[in-house]
Every structure is written in structure tokens, then in C-alpha cells.
Amino acid sequence: MVKFLRRTWGRYSKLGKRRKKKQIWRRPTGRDNKMREKRKGYPSIVSIGYKKDKKLRGKIKGVQPILVKNIRDLDKTKKGDLILVGKVGKKKKIELLKKAKEMKLEIQNVNPVKFLKKNKEKKGEEVKEKKNESK
């Protein structure tokens, strides 16, 4: 699979140098642009022929992922399913990941061990601060 990126993405931070979120496609324009002219040795341009097979579109490792936004969605999943955690808040995400860890399910877009460890440390600091304030 080809990853299409704008012409000068590796030159500037604002266009995606060391910033994945900023690495997006923008069509090359300009009179003397070699990429627009599809010259040899330059990155490829979005065009007909790069689309995936219809059977494989939207799948990860050949399996259709299941989007999980709450505990009920998680209960519907089976052991072999690919799970994607939807756009949820931190509190609900922690609940979902704990439940998924208990059920021994594989989550595709979040590392549950790392996420839970990171948020447990922050929670521990908040609890200590509250105890100090109450004294």
C-alpha cells in the first residue's frame, strides 16, 4: 500500500515532519512541479488504480473491526474479534479497557496495559493531593 503525502512534508514541522497527524495529502500544484508531472523518482500521486479490492476495504488483517463505544458493545464481542475503541472520554475508556483485559480481548488502536498504567499514576497523584487538602 502506498502512503500518499504532500510534496514537502519532510521539510517542515507544520507539514508533518515528525508529526503524524499533520501528514496529509494535498494535491501538488504549480507550473514546474515534478510531482504533479509524475516524473520518475518523485513520490506518487493519488490517482485511479490505487484503490483496494472491494472485499478488503475497511478491514484490518482481513477482518472487519468492531467499533466499541460502551460496555454493552464490548459484551457483544467474541474472543477472535478485532476491536477498535471509539471516541469516548478518559473515564469510560478506562472502564472499557479494564473489562477488555478481563475478557482477554485484543484491542487494535489502544495499548491497554500502557494506557491503564499511565492513568493509574495520575489518579494516584490526585488521590494524594485530596488527602493532603482534607488534613
pLDDT at 135: 63
Distance, in Å, from the CA atom of 3 to the CA atom of 24, rounded to the nearest integer, reads 9
Whole-model pTM?
A: 0.65
pLDDT at 95: 94
pLDDT beneath 70, residues of the chain? 1, 122-135
Helix axes 90-103, 112-134, angle to 10 degrees: 130
Distance, in Å, from the CA atom of 102 to the CA atom of 33, rounded to the nearest integer, reads 54
pLDDT at 102: 93
Q: How many residues does the chain have?
A: 135
pLDDT at 125: 57
